[in-house]
Amino acid sequence: MEPMASPRPRFSGRGGFVKSYMPKEYTNWKKQFLLAWSLYQAEKFEQGQALSVKIIFYIKPPASFSKVKKNHPLLESEVIPVNKKPDIDNLQKSVLDALNGYAWHDDNQISDIYARKLYSLKPRIEIWIEGVENNV
């Protein structure tokens, strides 16, 4: 599915109370992401297990970019890095927050992370998760 960056929370206030919430588009994305994740029937890592995570975000190129014929071989080989929005840290946050309680107990278990964003004609997210050996 297409990557989505984590937005900032929104705030509303009535009667002296301030309530924060996430935009509906984002909460719907997280539900779809978790549905797709559940299809893989991946096991949840144990609480306390240090994890290494690698995420590659394949992002749809702008129409002006993808219409240029010379770009098609590069887009098909998925080697063009994205140096525009969305910010990679917000893309990571959306995935890490969505997987809390599903792939791991809490994303504080992640001790090592690698992320990359590339243009692709097939937008998607690829994730690798491995347990890290404790050498203490």
What residues contact 127, with CB distance under 8 A and at least 6 apart? Answer: 53, 54, 55, 95
120, part of any domain: yes
**Contact by Cβ (8 Å): 59, 117:** yes
2, part of any domain: no
Q: What is the extent of the structural domain holding 120?
A: 10-131
106, part of any domain: yes
Intra-chain end-to-end CA distance of the chain, in Å: 39
Using the predicted structure, report yes or no on whether residue 136 has a pLDDT greater than 70. Answer: no
Count: domains in the chain:
1
The secondary structure element, H or E, covering residue 75 is helix 72-77
Instruction: Read off the pLDDT of each residue in 88-99 and give the average, rounded to a whole number.
Output: 96
48, part of any domain: yes
Instruction: Read off the pLDDT of each residue in 83-101 and give the average, rounded to a whole number.
Output: 95
CATH number for the domain harbouring residue 24: 3.30.1330.70
State pLDDT tens for residues 55-74: 999 999 988 877 777 778 88
46, part of any domain: yes
Q: Dihedral of the CA atoms 20, 53, 39, 57 (nearest 10)?
A: 70
State pLDDT tens for residues 3-29: 999 998 888 877 678 888 788 999 999
How would residue 95 be classed by pLDDT, with cut points 50, 70 and 90?
Answer: very high
3, part of any domain: no
pTM of the model: 0.87
Count of CB atoms within 10 A of residue 73's CB? 9
